[in-house]
């Protein structure tokens, strides 16, 4: 052991001397020489120069990077690129006659054309065909050779070469070899790109009306040092349409759900929807180029996170389409939905699997010297997308929601929970503000306060309640992490809290203790070093614009699991078991820790396992849980009710709510902070979501010097009436709905929504400013109404 | 806030900041409905997040089939029409707020229309930069008048006429912002085909101390090379129904927004807490005399009629293409229903923002409050505060409303919340008055009682010596060296020259006694800073930074003592370190003795009597200064002239030492950075 350590020391020292020299070089030649050696390149500018150099010398047949494509919007909103190739002569068209029938199920025939790695799916009943690549017939000839090749290829791959990741590979413009064999229900193609010396196997099968495309992890080979696959998109043009040729929409999992219509966008949008499933990766985030007002205020709200790995395409008039679920590899994949005008004139949506990425390695603390690097290893996971092909009356998002719910239940990714109605009333216990050399408690709601409030609500007819107690732990809301049941004395201490929880439980008020199992507060836990580092081995810090605690770290999943387990066990000792889980419910990251790298898959696995293991021991409600945690959640807290307001989105729909309604109770974001309360209320009615309030016994102005200064309106007395009123209205409505599922959601005219439940109840929501009559039901302005179902 | 920002920037530069600028809010309250956040400012100038004030609603991309091309200005009329100066297409486009095309005109006449204004008679005035004229069209697009460069000699001969923006008041006077005309807004009357009336609302060039110093020491040639100090011209302007003119001027800092009366004087007096934009593009007046400013960068500000900030919202598009984010704003207008229209010349679109329920309530309250209907305004104000109890503008208005109703306890509570010092003072005066009325007799009786007690005790003591024991004890304690030294400081304070002699020659210098005084000084300083009366308070309630307060005092005392000693020793001074430390600490005694008085006063005085506190402060500082100077002179045995020299040298030495420490710090920071770079590289290469 000793000698080993000694050797390490020597190695370190030698390295230090060697590298000192090179660092001095680097700092000296920052401006003079862009590239010192192939590897030590300093500053972003230098890297770019080197990158272009590489591009010019290595591959002469390479297509241009995206930046070089220039385009113009022509008449009828058609986008025409410079160097457009023109239309394909009719005699040279590749049509279904050139395709080979590879497999068939009861409903579909699967055809394959190897040179383009293209498939066609023929519906046996209707004869309608879904294409996977741009056909020569529909090719408008407006794009350049590079894009043309990509659009007609069933595979679109981005390549990392050295420190450059703008290269593109597809089967038409990149030399490759393919080897196709038939397998059960489909075929398997082994593909190898010769210039880059990498390849993989794609298995395509048809199971009933499901098309399943898989790339097994062990089939991916990369044989050239420094040349890697960055991302793979399989069948990016599946179900595409040109401009406004087809009526219909694309479904994107933005917020609760959103639709992009397949109409002519007239070249207005240069890019479309492109979001990582389960959010962006903090392990890769750099101190970004965000702009701040007065260099301090962040005015931008982040776009909402993709919670479920799904997307869909519906040609409503032609009655064909699909609903796709990214089944494997989704933890490091993005959903892409590009409307026409985004580079080319076709609407398309697909999943893009990220295999390996570049990251920025800073060489010093001032971040003046950096160099891009590729990840050491790729992400290991099978990649699989399941396309549920739709036809007939099923070509709409209501059917997609139903199919997804059935899929989740069948595969045990979701189990039916008690989804009876509760109003959610959360409380903030204590916070901290700076005082003298340390901090002092700002107590907002004690256990006694809560007891009084519960009593008052009970007397006013609020039968049942779900309540999350935040800031109950010793040290206040941001004393994180917590590894045992330890209530702050300012709220009444352990025994009072225990008594409160047990007493209220017996009267139908369920109290959950809030636990952010992800974050560590370095100011309160100075000697805990189980925190993650980014991929570039720099500590990850979440910076917060606040007075008291300005930064938080993320615990390693291992440490989160340990703390959380011991927390639940110590609760069990007091015969308590209700926990509201935050942090680990909606965050995924790659990280490095003690010289090892971990991927998002590792993180997700750790979280999934601990929640599954503790399922018996604790009742857990999760704060906006990602799809892989749904089976462990007794309730979905903070369900988004809108979308991110992308300009290209034409309609917001409550897609996730339609999937989950009736199987898992969903609670909204806090109503306190909504500027338009009535509209928000109607959105809850529309989505079948239960209301949430965040309350304190004291006036929220007491929080002004704490980290929770953004809680500007929480006083109980202000919201008492609203809680009782909302509870009355929504309890009555939901009593009628029971645990029925939503089977249909329709948008009638502008601002009128009709939601049909499986028990026949119909709910009418009117967002307009005038009274409306729908189906003979009168709905007041900015109000809702419902009609009990006819017997089934 | 802006000035503070600058100081911070400087400090950051000086210290070679290694940290990365903080990123992002971690906010639990955020609703994902809008892509931008809304902030308001509190009474301490701190930005606080609030409910969404305006929701991005419709986006008008085209009117009929007509698209915009780099449009620079628009005018929304009460009948729902939008007149757009479609700069790129060199025409005026008239559409409706729901995106229908009404007409276009001006093609062929206009060259580069930059500004447009529509009068009540529906006459359309267009400022054309390249044509060098303001055109007046009628509703159908017929040219009625053309106003080109005024030939009046008052206009200035060498100055070009390149109109950018134009507004017209009810009398028909045109107010024109011209490119590179620094004289101000050009005012032209329509009489006789355009009569130049003069320049309006001229901005003044400000001269900084730095510039004054430069001018004094630079040669003429160097001075000629300096950027000439010309006043900034307004970037845009607007007019309200009363004929008041609003301008925005970039670089004018706190005076970025001005509300000018007919004489050209700025009527905005209220504190705006540094909430102003650095690149304002346009200004508009709302239906409640509220002022809206659009920033080129995509931010939108709303102020009340006094210029107090209500909201900042909106943001620059980060490439995600979300509704409500902007690229380059050029114009802002307010519709009859309080909707805001902003023109984006880069995205070629008009974005409509609709006020939220919260804003509607705020506007109602604003209206009533501005009219002086305080009591009526309380209802909507409390609605606003229900939705956001930290909305300081509402807190302040609420306090004033309660004051009007003679509910002073509530008034004081709200004034304190919103840091409204004059409101607090007024309400406190009333409360104190009531207290005095009720208790004045009791208080007088109490004082008389005390006096009688004192007299009785004194008489008893004289006759029966009842306090002999106490006196003896006192004398005994005085024998203690420490106590004696400590008491000596009192003597020093009253007789600085004799006192100094004691320190110099009679062994009165010590470490313990002065240190105790220093500690008491620190304690009093901290207590006075954080717990004094609200009106005297310079720091925010609930904010404490005691560590650095004490640190500063310690550093100053050490620097004074050390540098003074260094200088004295080489100038034949007789002071030792101990003596010097002693006299500096003893000199603080007036502060120690008098601050408690100040502290008590600060709790019972209103703004009207604040001069008392100021007076005590002046006495304290003068006394401390005199003690220190006399002590330096006497202890070191200097003449007056020598003393002055020594004081100057001491200050100079302190500066030099500070500079030295700073340089060493910077050098070390470099070394440290280098070492950490090497280490980082090693970690990276070896993968530890």
Interface test with B, best of A16, A260, A293 (most B CBs within 10 A): A293
What pLDDT sits at residue B461? 86
Instruction: Please give the residue of chain A at the shortest CA–CA distance from B540.
Output: A705
Work out the pLDDT band at A8, boundaries 50, 70, 90: low
Q: Which residue has the tokens 């009084």?
A: A452
Work out the pLDDT band at A53, boundaries 50, 70, 90: very low
- Give pLDDT tens digits for A183-214: 999 999 999 999 999 999 999 999 999 999 99
* Inter-chain touch B23–A288, beta carbons under 8 Å: yes
**Per-residue pLDDT at A50 exceeds 50:** no
| Residue in A298, A676, A700 nearest the CB of B389 | A700
Q: Which residue has the higher pLDDT, B595 or A28?
A: B595
- Give pLDDT tens digits for A257-300: 999 999 998 888 888 999 999 998 988 876 555 667 777 777 88
* Low-confidence winner among A19-33, A601-615, B290-304, B518-532 (lowest mean pLDDT): A19-33
What pLDDT sits at residue B12? 41
Q: Which residues of A touch B363 (CB under 8 A)?
A: none
Q: What is the pTM of this model?
A: 0.80
What pLDDT sits at residue A74? 67
What pLDDT sits at residue A394? 92
- Give pLDDT tens digits for A500-534: 999 999 999 999 999 999 999 988 887 777 889 99
Q: Could you tell me which of A576, A381, A603, A425 has the C-alpha nearest to residue A486?
A: A576
Interface test with B, best of A645, A671, A700, A769 (most B CBs within 10 A): A645
Q: Which residues of B touch A705 (CB under 8 A)?
A: 540-543
- The tokens describing A298, both together, are 């962040």
What pLDDT sits at residue A87? 86
Contact in structure between B294 and B334 (CB atoms under 8 Å): no
User: Which three-class secondary structure string do you get for A580-609?
Assistant: EEECCCCCCCCEEECCEEECHHHHHHHHHH
- Give pLDDT tens digits for B329-354: 999 999 988 899 999 998 889 999 99
Work out the pLDDT band at B215, boundaries 50, 70, 90: confident
Q: Which residues of B touch A673 (CB under 8 A)?
A: 29-31, 51
Cα–Cα distance for residue pair B324/A643, rounded to 1 Å: 13
Which residues fall within 8 angstroms of residue B226, CB to CB, at 6 or more apart?
B214, B218
Q: Which residues of A touch B61 (CB under 8 A)?
A: 268
Mean pLDDT (chain B, rounded): 85
What pLDDT sits at residue B586? 92
Contact in structure between B567 and B560 (CB atoms under 8 Å): no
Q: How far is A737 from chain B (nearest CA, A)?
A: 27
* Inter-chain touch A292–B47, beta carbons under 8 Å: no
* Inter-chain touch A15–B18, beta carbons under 8 Å: no
**Per-residue pLDDT at A219 exceeds 80:** yes
Given CB atoms, is B398 within the 8 Å cutoff of chain A? no
Q: Residue A258 — φ and ψ, nearest 5°?
A: -150, 155
What pLDDT sits at residue B25? 31
Instruction: Please give the residue of chain A at the shortest CA–CA distance from B60.
Output: A647
**Per-residue pLDDT at A17 exceeds 50:** no
Q: Which residue has the tokens 């590979």?
A: A169
Q: Could you tell me which of B35, B641, B49, B535 has the C-alpha nearest to residue A303?
A: B35
Give the DSSP per-residue string, B530-550. HHS-GGG--S-TT---HHHHH
Maximum Cα–Cα distance across chain A: 88
- Give pLDDT tens digits for B8-58: 444 444 333 333 333 333 333 333 468 898 998 887 878 888 888 998 888
Measured N-to-C along each axis, helices B589-604 and B512-531 cross at an angle, to the nearest 10 degrees, of 20
| Residue in A22, A644, A713 nearest the CB of B32 | A644
Interface test with A, best of B19, B27, B33, B318 (most A CBs within 10 A): B33
Given CB atoms, is B270 within the 8 Å cutoff of chain A? no
**Per-residue pLDDT at A24 exceeds 70:** no
What pLDDT sits at residue A325? 97
Which residues fall within 8 angstroms of residue A563, CB to CB, at 6 or more apart?
A481, A482, A483, A517, A555
CB pairs under 8 A between A and B: 227
Strand A509-516 to A578-582 pairing: parallel
| Residue in A542, A641, A648 nearest the CB of B26 | A542
The terminus-to-terminus CA distance of chain B in angstroms comes to: 44
Cα A370 to chain centroid distance, Å, stands at 29
Which residues fall within 8 angstroms of residue B601, CB to CB, at 6 or more apart?
B533, B612, B613, B616
Task: Determine the average pLDDT of the residues in A433-453.
Answer: 89
* Inter-chain touch A712–B23, beta carbons under 8 Å: no
* Inter-chain touch B29–A672, beta carbons under 8 Å: yes
Q: Residue A373 — φ and ψ, nearest 5°?
A: -140, 150
| Residue in A595, A675, A699 nearest the CB of B688 | A595
| Residue in B21, B34, B386 nearest the CB of A645 | B34
Cα–Cα distance for residue pair B571/A229, rounded to 1 Å: 77
Instruction: Please give the residue of chain A at the shortest CA–CA distance from B351.
Output: A647
Q: Which residues of B touch A640 (CB under 8 A)?
A: 32
Q: Could you tell me which of A140, A137, A147 has the C-alpha nearest to residue A93?
A: A137
Please state, for a pLDDT cut of 90, what percent of chain A lies above it.
66
Cα–Cα distance for residue pair A695/A713, rounded to 1 Å: 8
* Inter-chain touch A545–B25, beta carbons under 8 Å: yes
Contact in structure between A38 and A162 (CB atoms under 8 Å): yes
User: Which three-class secondary structure string do you get for B487-518?
Assistant: HHHHHHHHCHHHHHHHHHHCCCCCCHHHHHHH
Work out the pLDDT band at B98, boundaries 50, 70, 90: confident
Q: Could you tell me which of A252, A305, A310, A309 has the C-alpha nearest to residue A279?
A: A305
CA distances (Å), origin B547, targets B518, B526, B672: 16, 10, 26
Sequence-ordered alpha helix ranges (H) in A87-144: none
* Inter-chain touch B29–A710, beta carbons under 8 Å: yes
The terminus-to-terminus CA distance of chain A in angstroms comes to: 76
Question: Side-chain half-sphere of B279: how many Cα atoms within 13 Å?
Answer: 11
| Residue in B61, B314, B682 nearest the CB of A12 | B682
Strand A221-222 to A227-234 pairing: unpaired
Cα–Cα distance for residue pair A165/A455, rounded to 1 Å: 62
Interface test with A, best of B295, B320, B325 (most A CBs within 10 A): B320
**Per-residue pLDDT at A723 exceeds 90:** yes
Given CB atoms, is B2 within the 8 Å cutoff of chain A? yes
Give the DSSP per-residue string, A225-273. TTEEEEEEEESTTTT-EETTSS-EEEEE-STT-EEEE-S--TT--SS-E
What pLDDT sits at residue A54? 38
Instruction: Please give the residue of chain A at the shortest CA–CA distance from B295.
Output: A293
Q: How far is A479 from chain B (nearest CA, A)?
A: 16
What pLDDT sits at residue B19? 31
- Give pLDDT tens digits for A240-254: 999 899 999 999 999
Secondary structure element (H or E) that encloses residue B217, with its range: helix B209-217
Q: How far is A354 from chain B (nearest CA, A)?
A: 20
CB atoms within 10 A of CB B625: 12
Given CB atoms, is B550 within the 8 Å cutoff of chain A? no
Task: Determine the average pLDDT of the residues in A671-687.
Answer: 90
Interface test with B, best of A360, A675, A683 (most B CBs within 10 A): A675
Given CB atoms, is B87 within the 8 Å cutoff of chain A? no
């Amino acid at each position: 052991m000793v000698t080993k350590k000694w050797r390490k020391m020597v190695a370190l020292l030698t390295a230090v001397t060697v590298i000192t020299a090179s660092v001095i070089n680097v700092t000296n030649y920052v401006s003079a020489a862009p590239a010192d050696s192939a590897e030590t390149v300093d500053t972003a500018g230098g890297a770019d120069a080197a990158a272009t150099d590489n591009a010019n010398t290595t591959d002469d047949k390479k297509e241009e990077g995206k930046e070089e494509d220039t385009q113009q919007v022509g008449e009828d909103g058609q986008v025409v690129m410079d160097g457009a190739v023109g239309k394909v002569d009719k005699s040279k068209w590749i049509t279904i006659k050139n395709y080979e029938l590879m497999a068939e199920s009861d409903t579909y025939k699967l055809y394959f054309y190897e040179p383009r790695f293209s498939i066609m799916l023929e519906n046996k009943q209707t004869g309608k065909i879904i294409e996977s690549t741009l056909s020569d017939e529909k090719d408008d000839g407006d794009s350049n050779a590079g894009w043309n090749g990509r659009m007609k290829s069933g595979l679109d791959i981005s390549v990392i070469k050295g420190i450059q990741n703008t290269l593109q590979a597809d089967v038409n413009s990149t030399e490759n070899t393919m080897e196709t064999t038939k397998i059960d229900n489909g075929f398997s193609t082994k593909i190898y790109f010769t210039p880059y010396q990498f390849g993989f196997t794609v298995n395509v099968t048809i199971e009933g009306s499901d098309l399943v495309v898989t790339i097994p992890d062990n089939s991916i080979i990369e044989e050239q040092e420094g040349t890697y696959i960055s991302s793979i998109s399989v069948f990016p043009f599946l179900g595409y349409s040109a401009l406004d040729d087809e009526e219909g929409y694309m479904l994107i999992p933005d917020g609760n759900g959103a639709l992009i219509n397949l109409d002519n966008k007239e070249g207005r949008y240069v890019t479309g929807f492109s979001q990582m499933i389960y959010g962006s990766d903090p392990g890769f985030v750099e101190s970004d180029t965000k702009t701040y007002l007065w260099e301090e205020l962040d005015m931008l709200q982040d776009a909402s996170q993709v919670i479920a790995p799904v997307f869909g395409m519906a040609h409503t008039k032609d009655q064909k389409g699909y609903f796709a679920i990214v089944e494997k590899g989704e933890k490091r994949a993005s959903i892409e939905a590009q409307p026409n005008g985004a580079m080319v004139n076709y609407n398309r949506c697909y999943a893009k699997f990220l295999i390996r990425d570049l990251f920025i390695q800073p060489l010093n603390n001032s971040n003046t010297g950096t160099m891009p690097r590729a990840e050491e290893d790729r992400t290991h996971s099978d990649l699989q997308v399941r396309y549920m092909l739709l036809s007939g009356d099923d070509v709409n998002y209501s059917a997609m929601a139903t199919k997804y719910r059935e899929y989740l239940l069948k595969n045990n990714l979701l189990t039916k929970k008690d989804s009876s109605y509760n109003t959610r009333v959360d409380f903030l216990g204590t916070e901290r503000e700076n005082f003298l050399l340390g901090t002092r408690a700002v107590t907002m709601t004690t256990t006694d306060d809560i007891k009084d409030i519960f009593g008052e609500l009970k007397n006013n007819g609020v039968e049942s309640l779900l309540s999350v107690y935040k800031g109950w732990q010793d040290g206040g809301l941001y004393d994180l992490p917590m590894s045992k049941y330890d209530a702050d004395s300012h709220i009444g201490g352990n025994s009072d809290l225990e008594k409160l929880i047990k007493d209220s439980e017996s009267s139908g008020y369920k109290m959950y203790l809030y636990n952010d199992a992800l974050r560590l507060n370095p100011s309160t836990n100075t000697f805990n070093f189980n925190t993650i580092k980014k991929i570039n081995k720099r500590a990850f810090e979440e910076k917060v614009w606040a007075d008291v605690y300005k930064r938080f770290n993320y615990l390693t999943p291992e440490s989160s699991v340990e703390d959380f387990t011991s927390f639940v066990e110590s609760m069990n000792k007091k015969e308590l078991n209700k926990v509201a889980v935050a942090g680990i419910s909606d965050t995924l990251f790659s990280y490095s820790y003690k010289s090892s790298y971990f991927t998002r898959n590792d993180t997700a696995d750790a979280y999934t396992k601990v929640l599954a293991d503790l399922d018996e021991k604790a009742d857990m409600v999760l704060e906006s849980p990602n799809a892989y945690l749904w089976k462990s959640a007794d309730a979905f807290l903070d369900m988004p009710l809108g979308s991110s307001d992308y300009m290209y989105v034409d309609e917001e729909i409550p897609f996730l709510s339609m999937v989950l309604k009736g199987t898992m109770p969903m609670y909204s974001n806090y109503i306190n902070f909504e500027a338009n309360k009535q509209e928000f209320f109607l959105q809850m009615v529309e989505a079948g979501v239960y209301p949430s309030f965040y309350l304190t016994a004291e006036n929220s102005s007491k929080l002004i010097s704490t980290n929770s200064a953004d809680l500007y309106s929480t006083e109980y007395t202000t919201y008492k009436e609203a809680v009782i009123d909302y509870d009355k209205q929504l309890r009555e409505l939901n009593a009628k709905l029971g645990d029925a599922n939503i089977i249909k959601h329709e948008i009638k005219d502008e601002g009128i929504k009709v939601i049909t439940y499986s028990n026949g109840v119909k709910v009418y929501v009117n967002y307009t400013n005038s009274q409306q009559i729908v189906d003979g039901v009168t709905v007041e302005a900015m109000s809702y109404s419902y009609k009990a179902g006819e017997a089934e | 806030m802006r000035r503070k920002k600058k100081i911070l920037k400087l400090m950051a530069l000086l210290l070679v900041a290694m940290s990365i600028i903080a990123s992002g809010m971690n906010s639990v309250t955020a609703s994902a409905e809008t892509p931008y956040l809304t902030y308001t400012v509190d009474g301490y100038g701190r930005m606080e997040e609030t409910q969404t004030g305006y929701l991005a609603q419709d986006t008008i991309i085209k009117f009929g089939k007509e698209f915009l091309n780099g449009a620079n200005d628009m005018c929304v009329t009460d009948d729902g029409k939008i007149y757009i100066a479609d700069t790129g297409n060199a025409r005026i486009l008239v559409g409706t707020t729901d995106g229908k095309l009404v007409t276009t005109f001006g093609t062929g006449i206009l060259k580069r229309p930059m500004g447009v204004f529509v009068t009540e008679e529906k006459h359309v005035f267009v400022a054309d930069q390249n044509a060098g004229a303001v055109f007046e069209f009628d509703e159908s697009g017929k040219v009625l008048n053309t106003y080109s460069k005024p030939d009046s000699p008052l206009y200035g001969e060498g100055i070009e006429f390149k109109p950018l923006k134009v507004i017209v008041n009810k009398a028909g006077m045109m107010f024109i912002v011209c490119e590179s005309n620094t004289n101000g807004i050009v005012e032209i009357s329509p009489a006789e085909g355009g009569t130049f009336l003069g320049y309006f609302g001229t901005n003044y060039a400000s001269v900084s101390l730095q510039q004054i110093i430069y001018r004094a020491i630079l040669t003429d040639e160097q001075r000629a090379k300096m950027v000439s100090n010309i006043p900034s011209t307004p970037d845009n302007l607007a007019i309200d129904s009363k004929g008041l003119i609003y301008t925005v001027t970039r670089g004018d800092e706190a005076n970025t927004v001005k509300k000018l009366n007919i004489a050209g004087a700025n009527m905005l007096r209220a504190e705006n807490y540094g909430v102003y934009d650095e690149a304002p593009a346009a200004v508009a007046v709302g239906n409640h005399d509220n002022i809206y400013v659009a920033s080129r960068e995509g931010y939108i500000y709303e102020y009340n009629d006094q210029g107090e900030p209500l909201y900042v919202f909106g943001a620059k598009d980060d490439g995600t293409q979300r509704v409500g984010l902007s690229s380059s704003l050029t114009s802002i207008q307010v519709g009859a229903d309080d909707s805001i229209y902003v023109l984006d010349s880069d995205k070629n679109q008009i974005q409509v923002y609709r006020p939220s329920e919260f804003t509607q309530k705020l506007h109602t309250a604003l209206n009533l409050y501005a009219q002086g209907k305080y009591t009526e305004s309380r209802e909507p104000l409390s609605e606003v505060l229900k939705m956001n109890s930290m909305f300081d503008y509402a807190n302040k208005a609420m306090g004033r409303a309660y004051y009007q109703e003679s509910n002073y306890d509530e008034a004081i509570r709200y004034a304190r919340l919103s840091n409204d010092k004059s409101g607090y003072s007024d309400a406190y005066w009333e409360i104190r008055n009531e207290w005095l009325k009720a208790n004045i007799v009791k208080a007088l009786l109490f004082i008389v009682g005390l006096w009688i007690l004192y007299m009785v005790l004194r008489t008893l003591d004289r006759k029966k010596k009842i306090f002999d024991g106490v006196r003896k004890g006192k004398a005994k304690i005085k024998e203690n060296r420490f106590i004696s030294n400590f008491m000596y400081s009192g003597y020093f304070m009253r007789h600085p020259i004799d006192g100094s002699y004691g320190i110099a020659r009679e062994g009165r210098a010590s470490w313990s006694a002065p240190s105790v005084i220093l500690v008491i000084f620190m304690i009093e300083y901290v207590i006075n800073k954080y717990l004094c009366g609200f009106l005297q308070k310079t720091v925010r309630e609930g904010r404490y930074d005691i560590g650095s307060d004490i640190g500063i005092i310690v550093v100053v005392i050490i620097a004074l003592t050390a540098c003074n000693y260094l200088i004295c020793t080489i100038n034949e001074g007789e002071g030792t370190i101990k003596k010097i430390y002693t006299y500096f600490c003893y000199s603080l005694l007036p502060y120690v003795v008098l601050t408690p008085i100040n502290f008590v006063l600060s709790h019972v005085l209103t703004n009207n009597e604040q001069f008392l506190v100021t007076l005590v402060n002046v006495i304290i500082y003068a006394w401390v200064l005199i003690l220190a100077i006399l002590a330096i002179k006497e202890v070191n045995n200097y003449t007056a002239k020598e003393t002055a020299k020594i004081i100057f040298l001491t200050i100079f030495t302190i500066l030099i030492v500070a500079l030295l420490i700073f340089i060493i710090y910077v050098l070390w920071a470099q070394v440290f950075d280098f070492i950490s770079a090497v280490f980082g590289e090693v970690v990276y290469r070896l993968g530890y």
